[in-house]
Every structure is written in structure tokens, then in C-alpha cells.
Amino acid sequence: MLATEKLAAYIKVHPGAIGKVVDFNAKSDRLYPLDLTAANTELTPELVADTEAFSNWIDKKLADNNCRYGIGGYMEHRTIYTRSALFDTEDEPRRLHLGVDIWGDAGIPIYAPLQGTVHSFADNDNFGDYGPTIILQHNLDGLILYSLYGHLSRESLVGLEAGQSISPNQQIATLGNSTQNGHWPPHLHFQLMLDIGDAKGDYPGVGRYSQKQQHLQNIPDPELILQFADTSQR
């Protein structure tokens, strides 16, 4: 059974157990689906290499389309990772995006959508990396699920302790700016995993395309939690 099917089975029985990840009003807010693959010819290498220009491009897309957030990325094969040597492994470059990105303003609140505990946290301070990152652990009637929140503000890590109890809809962080978040336009990388092994404060958010089927066994579609599909602009 794929990871998404396992999580979907839990949500079907417990539809009221899911909280929010960001503030969002489905009746009034709109989402802009951002395509960060090679099919988007506006994303030139020069644009994505310039963090300020990349940020301005995203801001303009959201403003022009009257959208509160940009959204997208689950299992998306992206070429933009050529901007960082972090993803250029020797045998096969990592280009497969494993989570969902929510693009918005720095400083917006980030919430835990499920009951859980703080598993780990770290400041992954490399160019193109997550920057400040929090991983929560959830026990869903015996199904262990981890949720990762990357590209946060450094203030988000202050006062955290492993094992700390977290309630649904509890604010756990704020979104970081480009000087804190690994030098990206402000956005949240939100990812779910069933197994993270010995990882602490970090787990790959970009994988090898050749291993997509393996990733699907472990990484559920975050849309199950976000429930944004019906409000994306098409």
C-alpha cells in the first residue's frame, strides 16, 4: 500500500482530526499553482539564480492573480535545483521534489495540523537548504507519521524541546526570509513521511527521480492534510 493510501484511510475515519498548516479561508482566499519544472519557460537559469529576482517573480504572480499563496511541488521533477550544489550528487542529481511548497510572505504563522510531539529541529544553514527546520511526530491510531516544516525563521527554533507536546492548530513557527531560509524566496516546505530512520532536524526534501516509486511508499501527498485542491486557480 502506498503511503498516501495509508494516511487517507486514517483521515476517512477521523475527518475532524486535521487542522491547518497556514491561515487560509477557503471561501475568499485563492491559490496560485506554481510550476517549477522545465516546462515553465519563464524560469530561466538567470532568474532562479538571483534570489531577489526569483522572489519578485513569485510575488508578481501572486499579486497579478489575486492569490494569497502559491502552491505546488509534490513529486514534481524540478530543474531549478541546478542553483545549488547541494543537490548535485555524483551518480544522479537530485531533482524530484518530495513535499509541497506554500509560497507567501516572510513572517506568516505556521501551524501544526495534527496532535503530536516535537521530534527534532535544526538550522540547516547551507545555500539551497532548508534553513531552520522542525520535524513533528504523530501517532494516528498506531500509524506513525512525521511532518516536516522547512524554510522557517530562526526565531521559530527558540525554546523548542524534543518531546514537547503539540496540539492541532498550535502555532509552531513563522516563515523565514531569504537571509534565514537557505536563500530561497519565502515559502514553507511541508512534507510528510512514515519513516525517517535516524534523521534528526533534517530529512531529504528532494530525491532522485529514479527512486520515485520508493519515495511514494514512504511519503504521502500533503494535500491530504492541506485540502487545498478545490481552491487552486486553474
- Answer yes or no: CATH 1.10.10.10 is held by domain 3-227: no
Residue 83 has a pLDDT of 47
Q: What is the pTM of this model?
A: 0.92
Q: If pLDDT is split at 50, 70 and 90, which confidence band does 82 have?
A: low
Question: What is the model's pLDDT at position 230?
Answer: 55
Coil, strand, or helix at residue 210? helix
pLDDT of residue 194: 96
C-beta separation of 147 from 195 below 8 A: no
Specify whether the CB–CB gap between 78 and 97 falls below 8 A: yes
What is the residue extent of each domain of the chain?
A: 3-227
pLDDT of residue 210: 87
**CA 83/CA 97 separation, integer angstroms:** 14
Alpha helices in the chain (DSSP H): 3-13, 45-49, 51-64, 212-218, 223-226
CA 100 from centroid of its chain's CA atoms: 4
pLDDT band at 46 (very low <50, low <70, confident <90, very high): confident
Residue whose entry in the numeric block shows the C-alpha cell 527554533: 157
CB of 108 within 8 A of CB of 176?
no
Average pLDDT over residues 109-122: 98
- Cα-flanking dihedrals φ and ψ of residue 132, to 5°? -60, 130
Query: CA-CA distance, 160 to 135, in Å (whole number)?
Result: 11
Split at pLDDT 50, 70, 90, the class of 94 is: low
Range in 20-34, 118-132, 140-154, 217-231 the model is least confident about: 217-231
Which residue's C-alpha cell is 517549477?
36
State the amino acid at position 116 in one-letter form: G
Give residue-wise pLDDT tens across range 178-220: 999 988 999 999 999 999 999 999 999 999 888 999 999 999 9
Enumerate residues 6+ apart whose C-beta is below 8 A from 23.
108, 109, 111
Q: How many CA atoms lie within 13 A of 217 on its CB side?
A: 4
Structure confidence at residue 180 (pLDDT): 93
